[in-house]
Structure 1
Amino acid sequence: MPSPAHVLSVNVGRGVERPYASGPVTAIDKRPVDGIDVRDPGPKHGGLGSGVVGDTVGDTRHHGGVTQAVYAYPREDQQWWEERIGRPIEPGGFGENLTTVGVEATHALVGELWTIGDVVLRVEAPRIPCATFAGHMGERRWVKRFTDAGRTGAYLSVVTPGRIEAGAPIVVERPDHDIDLLLAFRAFMGDLGAARRVVDAGVLHPTEQQPLERSLLRRDA
C-alpha cells in the first residue's frame, strides 16, 4: 500500500501544435507513464528545458529551467476543480509531471524538500496561469478563476536526480520560515505587501527573486 503522501501518477507531454500555444508547440496535455527520469535542466535560456527526460517545453521563454524543472499538482485540488467545472480532470490534465496525493502544494514552503526514493526535489515557485493553460482547459475566464482560487501547484527544482515512479512515497522536509507558495503567488500577481514580505525573506532562488526585486523597485520609483 502506498503511503498517505505519495505520487499518484507521473506524466510526460510531447509537443503538438495548438492554436492556443504561446510557443511553436505545447506539451501541456501530459499523459501518465510508468516512470520518469528527472535531472537539473540548467538555465531557462540555453538549458535543456524540462527537468523530466522526454518532456517537451514548448514556450522556452517562459517555462522550463532550474526553478521549473518539475511541476506537481495535487489530486485533491484537481477534484476540487472537477466539482466546479463539472467534468473530470485526468492525471496530467493540468500539465503536471507529478500528480500527488497527501502533499500540500498551495501552502508548501519555498525551499521545502520532497524526497521521493533517491530523488530530492526543492519547492521553488507557484504556477502563474497563462493563455496556453486557459486554451487547454477551454473554460471561460480561466486565468482569473485559477488566480482567485490560488491552488497553484508547485514548481520544483531537482536537487538529486534519479527516477520517480507512480506510487512512490513522498517525504517532506520543511524549512524554518513561513513563506509559502500562495504568498509568493500573490506577490508575483501584483500584491505589493506580499511582494515585500517575500523579497525581504530572501528565500527565493535568484532567478525568481531578482525579477520580483526589480518589480518592487519600479513601483517604488
Structure 2
Amino acid sequence: MAVVLSLNIAQRTVPVDYAREGATGIDKRPVDGPLEVRAPGAKSSGVSSSGVIGSGVVGDAIADKANHGGDYQAVYAYAREDLDWWQAELGADLRNGQFGENLTTRGIDQTHARIGERWRVGTALLEVTAPRIPCRTFAGFLGRQGWVKRFTEVARPGAYLRVLEAGLVAAGDEIAVVHRPEHDVTVELFFRAVLTEADLLPRLLEAGDSVPPEVVDLVHRRTAV
C-alpha cells in the first residue's frame, strides 16, 4: 500500500543569499496533520481568489511565487525510496522534507507516474502535472557543488501535483491511484524532454491540459508545433 510518510511545510521563509528572491521556503519540516490542500490559483497572481498564497498546502510558506507554487505546482511529492537512494549516494542522512517536498511518500513510483495520473490522498484528489526542475536554491540549501547537474543526470525528480478536489491530508494517509491515462508521458520523460532531450518535447502535448500552460508554450516555442 502506498502511503504518506510525512506532511511537510515551511512555516516561514528564511533569508538566504543563494535564492533568487533573497529568501526561501525550501526548508520544510514534518507537521502533525491533517492540513487542508486546495488550489492556490495561478502562479504569477500571488494571492488567489480563495485567499491561499503560493502553496496548495495551507500554512506552507513560499518565497519565489513566480517560479514555485500555483495550481500546477500546488503540492510537491518525493519518494522516501528516492531519498534513501540519495542518502547512500551522498553518504549523508536525509530527513523527510529535506528536498523541500510537501509529501514524503512510500510505495508509489513517482518517476514513472504518468502526467495526468490522479491520486486520492486523504480526502483530496491530486493530479500529477510535472517533475521538479532543480535550481540554485535547491543546490544552495543542500550545500552541494554540482548538485543541479547531478540531480539532472540521475533523473529522480519527484512529482508536482495540482489539486482537483480540496481536502485534508495527513501522515499515514493511503495514496490510491484512481486514474491512469492511456498515454505514456511519464514524469521522467517530461524531465528529460525539458532538460536533456529536446526531441521529446512534442510528446508532452499528448498529456493534454495536465501539462502546465507555461510548458505547453515552451513546447510551441522550441518546436513550432
Please state which band the TM-score falls in when normalised by the shorter chain: over 0.9
| Alignment correspondent of 2:2 | 5
| Alignment correspondent of 2:36 | 37
Q: Structure 1: any 5+ residue segments left out of the alignment?
A: none
State the Cα distance separating 1:201 from its structure 2 match. Answer: 5.1
1:196 counterpart (169, 192, 202): 202
| Alignment correspondent of 1:210 | 217
Identity of aligned residues (%): 49
Alignment of 1:33-72 (within 5 A): 33-35=31-33, 36-46=35-45, 47=48, 48-72=53-77
Alpha-carbon distance in 2 for matches of 1:22, 1:91? 24
1:144 aligns with 2:149: yes
| Alignment correspondent of 1:96 | 101
C-alpha RMSD over aligned residues: 1.4
Residues 199 and 213 in structure 1, CA contact (< 8 A), matched pair in contact too: no
User: CA distance change for structure 1 residues 213 and 138 in 2, over 3 Å: closer, same or farther?
Assistant: same
TM-score by length of 1: 0.93
| Alignment correspondent of 1:163 | 168
State the Cα distance separating 1:193 from its structure 2 match. Answer: 1.8
1:116 aligns with 2:117: no
Q: 2:107 is aligned with what amino acid?
A: G
State the Cα distance separating 1:190 from its structure 2 match. Answer: 4.5
TM-score by length of 2: 0.91
Q: What SS is found at the alignment partner of 2:190? A: helix
Q: Structure 2: any 5+ residue segments left out of the alignment?
A: none
Q: 1:8 is aligned with what amino acid?
A: L
State the Cα distance separating 1:24 from its structure 2 match. Answer: 3.3
State the Cα distance separating 1:213 from its structure 2 match. Answer: 1.9
State the Cα distance separating 1:76 from its structure 2 match. Answer: 0.2
